[in-house]
Chains A and B, each alone.
Chain A
Amino acid sequence: MTTLSDQHPSIWTNAVHAAALFAVDMSGIAGINLRARSGPVRDAWLELLREFLPASCPICRVSHHLSDERLLGGLDLAATLRSGRPVAERGLLVQTNGGTLILTGAERASAVLAAHIGAALDAHEVNMQRDGVCELSSARIGLVMLDEGIEDENPPQALLDRVGFHLDLDQVHWRETVVVGFNRESVIEARRRLDQVDIHDDVLCALCEAAVTLGIDSIRAPLLAIRAARAAAALAGQRTVRREDVALAATLVLAPRGTVIPQSGASPETKPHTSETDDSCSFHADEPEAEVQSIDDDRPLSEVIVEAARAAMPPTLLAQLQHSDALMMRTNAAGRVGALISSARRGRPAGVRRGEPRAHARLNVVETLRAAAPWQPLRQHEIAQSQAPALKLRRIEVRRDDFRVTRLEHRGETTSIFAVDASGSSALYRLAEAKGAVEQLLSDCYIRRDRVALIAFRGQKAELVLSPTRSLARAKRSLAGLPGGGGTPLATAIDAAATLAVAVRRRGQSPVIVLLTDGRANVARDGTPGREKAALDALVAARVVRSTNIAALVVDISPQPHVSAQRLAAEMGARYLPLPQADAKNLSLAVQAVRRTECL
Chain B
Amino acid sequence: MTSIYPFSAIVGQDEMKLALLVAAIDPSIGGVLILGDRGSGKSTAVRALASLLPKIAAVAQCRFGCDPDDEPALCDECRDKLSKGPLKIRQIDVPVVDLPLGATEDRVVGALDLERALSQGVKAFEPGLLARAHRGFLYIDEVNLLEDYLVDLLLDSAASGENVVEREGLSLRHPSRFVLIGTGNPEEGELRPQLLDRFGLSVEVRTPKDLSERIEVVRRRDAFERDSAAFVGNWRKENTRLRRRIMAARDALDNIELSDEALKRTAQLCISLGTDGLRGELTLMRAARAVASLDGEKKVADKHLRRVAAPALRHRLRRNPLDDAGSTTRIERAVADLFGP
A155 vs chain B, min Cβ distance (A): 14
Contact mask for chain B residues 77-101; partner A; CB cutoff 8 A; 1 contact, 0 none: 0000000000000000000001111
Partner of B40, one of A209, A219, A471, A472: A219
Whether the Cβ atoms of B117 and A473 lie closer than 8 Å is no
Q: Is A84 among interface residues, defined by CB-CB distance under 8 A?
A: yes
Chain B residues near A212: list those with CB within 8 A. 211, 214
Chain A residues near B141: list those with CB within 8 A. 115, 119
Whether the Cβ atoms of B121 and A381 lie closer than 8 Å is yes
Partner of B43, one of A122, A199, A204, A443: A122
A126 vs chain B, min Cβ distance (A): 8
Whether the Cβ atoms of B145 and A132 lie closer than 8 Å is no
Once bound together, how far apart are the Cα atoms of A204 and B112, in whole Å? 53
Whether the Cβ atoms of A479 and B324 lie closer than 8 Å is yes
Q: Is A170 among interface residues, defined by CB-CB distance under 8 A?
A: no
Q: Is B14 among interface residues, defined by CB-CB distance under 8 A?
A: no
B74 vs chain A, min Cβ distance (A): 25
Chain A residues near B142: list those with CB within 8 A. 111, 115, 119
Whether the Cβ atoms of A80 and B118 lie closer than 8 Å is yes
Q: Is B193 among interface residues, defined by CB-CB distance under 8 A?
A: yes
Once bound together, how far apart are the Cα atoms of A71 and B101, in whole Å? 12
Contact mask for chain B residues 187-226; partner A; CB cutoff 8 A; 1 contact, 0 none: 1111011000000000000011111001101110110010
Given A85-B118, A436-B321, A440-B321: A127 and B98 interface contact (C-beta under 8 Å): yes
Given A374-B118, A378-B117, A481-B324: A218 and B219 interface contact (C-beta under 8 Å): no
Whether the Cβ atoms of A473 and B168 lie closer than 8 Å is no
Once bound together, how far apart are the Cα atoms of A584 and B211, in whole Å? 43
Q: Is A116 among interface residues, defined by CB-CB distance under 8 A?
A: yes
Chain B residues near A218: list those with CB within 8 A. 37-39, 207
Partner of A71, one of B102, B108, B149: B102
Chain B residues near A133: list those with CB within 8 A. 107, 114
Once bound together, how far apart are the Cα atoms of A130 and B107, in whole Å? 6
Whether the Cβ atoms of B215 and A128 lie closer than 8 Å is no
Q: Is A172 among interface residues, defined by CB-CB distance under 8 A?
A: no
Once bound together, how far apart are the Cα atoms of A212 and B185, in whole Å? 22
Given A119-B141, A276-B209: A374 and B117 interface contact (C-beta under 8 Å): yes
Q: Is B160 among interface residues, defined by CB-CB distance under 8 A?
A: no
Chain B residues near A62: list those with CB within 8 A. none
Q: Is A182 among interface residues, defined by CB-CB distance under 8 A?
A: no
Tally chain B residues at the interface, Cβ within 8 Å.
64
Chain A residues near B54: list those with CB within 8 A. none
Q: Is B147 among interface residues, defined by CB-CB distance under 8 A?
A: yes
Chain B residues near A132: list those with CB within 8 A. 106-107, 111-112, 114, 126
Contact mask for chain B residues 104-122; partner A; CB cutoff 8 A; 1 contact, 0 none: 1111100110110111011
Whether the Cβ atoms of B218 and A222 lie closer than 8 Å is yes
Q: Is B159 among interface residues, defined by CB-CB distance under 8 A?
A: no
Whether the Cβ atoms of A86 and B319 lie closer than 8 Å is no
Whether the Cβ atoms of B145 and A111 lie closer than 8 Å is yes
Contact mask for chain B residues 208-249; partner A; CB cutoff 8 A; 1 contact, 0 none: 111100110111011001000000000000000000000000
Closest to B98 in A: A127
Given A158-B38, A446-B192, A471-B190: A112 and B115 interface contact (C-beta under 8 Å): no
Partner of B322, one of A131, A278, A435: A435
Chain A 104-120 interface residues, beta-carbon cutoff 8 Å to B: 111-112, 115-116, 119
A31 vs chain B, min Cβ distance (A): 14
Closest to A157 in B: B38
Once bound together, how far apart are the Cα atoms of A112 and B114, in whole Å? 28
Q: Is A363 among interface residues, defined by CB-CB distance under 8 A?
A: no
Closest to B128 in A: A129
Given A112-B145, A219-B208, A377-B121: A436 and B215 interface contact (C-beta under 8 Å): no
Partner of B38, one of A84, A161, A222, A355: A161
Q: Is B27 among interface residues, defined by CB-CB distance under 8 A?
A: no
Q: Is A179 among interface residues, defined by CB-CB distance under 8 A?
A: no
Partner of A470, one of B167, B189, B319: B189
A275 vs chain B, min Cβ distance (A): 9
Whether the Cβ atoms of A220 and B222 lie closer than 8 Å is no
Contact mask for chain B residues 30-41; partner A; CB cutoff 8 A; 1 contact, 0 none: 000000011111
Chain B residues near A342: list those with CB within 8 A. 147-148
Chain A 469-491 interface residues, beta-carbon cutoff 8 Å to B: 470-474, 476, 479-481
B20 vs chain A, min Cβ distance (A): 18
Once bound together, how far apart are the Cα atoms of A353 and B105, in whole Å? 8
Once bound together, how far apart are the Cα atoms of A4 and B211, in whole Å? 30
Chain A residues near B117: list those with CB within 8 A. 374-375, 377-378
Whether the Cβ atoms of B321 and A219 lie closer than 8 Å is no
Whether the Cβ atoms of A125 and B211 lie closer than 8 Å is no
Chain B residues near A115: list those with CB within 8 A. 101, 141-142, 145
Whether the Cβ atoms of A130 and B319 lie closer than 8 Å is no
Chain A residues near B208: list those with CB within 8 A. 219
Chain B residues near A119: list those with CB within 8 A. 100-101, 141-142
A460 vs chain B, min Cβ distance (A): 25
Once bound together, how far apart are the Cα atoms of A199 and B219, in whole Å? 11
Chain A residues near B147: list those with CB within 8 A. 342, 353
Chain B residues near A220: list those with CB within 8 A. 38-39
Chain A residues near B211: list those with CB within 8 A. 208-209, 212, 278, 280-281
Q: Is B129 among interface residues, defined by CB-CB distance under 8 A?
A: yes
Whether the Cβ atoms of A471 and B149 lie closer than 8 Å is no
Contact mask for chain A residues 68-90; partner B; CB cutoff 8 A; 1 contact, 0 none: 10011011000010001110000
Q: Is A148 among interface residues, defined by CB-CB distance under 8 A?
A: no
Q: Is B340 among interface residues, defined by CB-CB distance under 8 A?
A: no
Partner of B102, one of A80, A130, A207, A355: A130
Q: Is A124 among interface residues, defined by CB-CB distance under 8 A?
A: yes
Q: Is B326 among interface residues, defined by CB-CB distance under 8 A?
A: yes
Q: Is A244 among interface residues, defined by CB-CB distance under 8 A?
A: no
Whether the Cβ atoms of B190 and A335 lie closer than 8 Å is no
Whether the Cβ atoms of B187 and A474 lie closer than 8 Å is yes
Chain A residues near B219: list those with CB within 8 A. 201, 204
Given A472-B190, A476-B326: A223 and B218 interface contact (C-beta under 8 Å): yes
Whether the Cβ atoms of B103 and A130 lie closer than 8 Å is yes
Chain A residues near B105: list those with CB within 8 A. 353-354
Contact mask for chain A residues 341-356; partner B; CB cutoff 8 A; 1 contact, 0 none: 0100000000001110
Q: Is A396 among interface residues, defined by CB-CB distance under 8 A?
A: no
Q: Is A217 among interface residues, defined by CB-CB distance under 8 A?
A: yes
Chain B residues near A355: list those with CB within 8 A. 149
Whether the Cβ atoms of B187 and A332 lie closer than 8 Å is yes
- Beyond the given A85-B119, A377-B117, please list 18 additional residue pairs across the A-B interface where CB-CB is below 8 A: A86-B115, A115-B101, A115-B145, A129-B99, A130-B107, A208-B211, A208-B218, A218-B39, A223-B221, A336-B187, A342-B148, A354-B106, A432-B322, A435-B322, A471-B187, A472-B190, A474-B186, A480-B324
| 5 A-B contact pairs sorted by A residue (CB < 8 Å) | A86-B115, A218-B207, A226-B222, A353-B149, A471-B189
Give the 6 A-B CB pairs with smallest separation, nearest first: A276-B209, A436-B321, A129-B107, A480-B324, A129-B103, A220-B39
Which A residues fall within an 8 A CB radius of B? 28, 68, 71-72, 74-75, 80, 84-86, 111-112, 115-116, 119, 122-125, 127-134, 157-158, 161, 199, 201, 204-205, 207-209, 211-212, 217-220, 222-223, 226, 276, 278, 280-281, 332, 335-336, 339, 342, 353-355, 374-375, 377-378, 381, 399, 401, 432, 435-436, 439-440, 442-443, 445-446, 470-474, 476, 479-481, 584
